[in-house]
Amino acid sequence: MKSLKSLVIVLFLDVNVLAQSFPKEATQLFERYVALEAKFDPAIADLYADDAMIKNTRRYPDGTSRTMSLPAPTYKELIRTSMPTAKARGDTNQYSGMTSKVEDGKLRVTATRYSDLKKHSSPLSLLITQRAGRWLIVEELSESVAIAVDFNRPIRELRLLDGRTLSNVFVMSVGENHLSARWRGGQGNLPYDLLPEEYREAATKMRTPKPAPSDAPTKPNPAQKKEK
């Protein structure tokens, strides 16, 4: 935690130099954002305006990308409900390279976010303004990187959303709503809602479709028999 505080202080020395025209409360909002996230505090959701624009661009190993938007109320509820899972997984972030600039009377704060869990960096941009006396985030632009998933190869380590970590996972089949797998010390079905997003997406794309219901045996057509 000491290193986190040091990081925040260093970052905000830079912000204050770049955005001196803004009140201290505005430039310190990102400091609070980082601190609440580090404590897995669901109160971080209260830093967003109810009409904030939330966009995430997901980049895939094949070079393609997909941008998704979420309504702010949905995103805020997602933050609140996901905090216990994030804490169980040790899903923490580090921030560096922060800059800020004035944009249409608002404060644009950008930084590089490094995921300690996924081991990759991605850009983050927050737009901050004052609403009814409170400084709030009115826009979040972020990116995430999808890892390449190959169910034909053993997964060395699979972190489930319930906090468990499975080692040497061999996927035996991909079902409609679960993976059938064996791993060191056990085997069974892994529901999709327990899988990390990359694995859930990969499973959804290749899951085994349900067999079509078999029709009753077709009775031979007497007319066809006569023709023969």
* Residue of 195, 157, 158, 161 lying closest to 175 (CA atoms): 195
Eight-state DSSP code of residue 198: H
Tokens of 13: 């020395």
Instruction: Please give the backbone phi and psi of residue 141, each rounded to the nearest 5 degrees, phi first.
Output: -115, 120
- Provide the pLDDT for residue 222: 54
Integer Cα distance of 142 and 145 in angstroms: 10
Name the residue ranges covered by the structural domains of the chain: 2-145, 155-206
Integer Cα distance of 201 and 25 in angstroms: 40
Contact 50, 136 (CB under 8 A): no
What is the percentage of the chain residues whose pLDDT exceeds 70?
81
Residue with the bigger pLDDT between 203 and 45: it is: 45
| Lowest-confidence pick of 13-22, 61-70, 84-93, 157-166 | 13-22
Integer Cα distance of 28 and 129 in angstroms: 12
CATH number of 2-145: 3.10.450.50
Eight-state DSSP code of residue 43: G
Integer Cα distance of 114 and 6 in angstroms: 16
- Provide the pLDDT for residue 207: 67
Average pLDDT over residues 188-201: 87
At residue 182 the predicted structure's pLDDT band, cuts being 50, 70 and 90, is very high
Could you read off the pLDDT of 105-149 as tens digits, one per residue? 899 999 999 999 888 899 999 999 999 989 999 999 999 887 778
- Other C-beta atoms closer than 10 Å to the C-beta of 35 total 15
List of E strands, 104-203: 106-115, 120-131, 134-145, 155-159, 165-174, 178-183, 186-191
- Provide the pLDDT for residue 189: 94
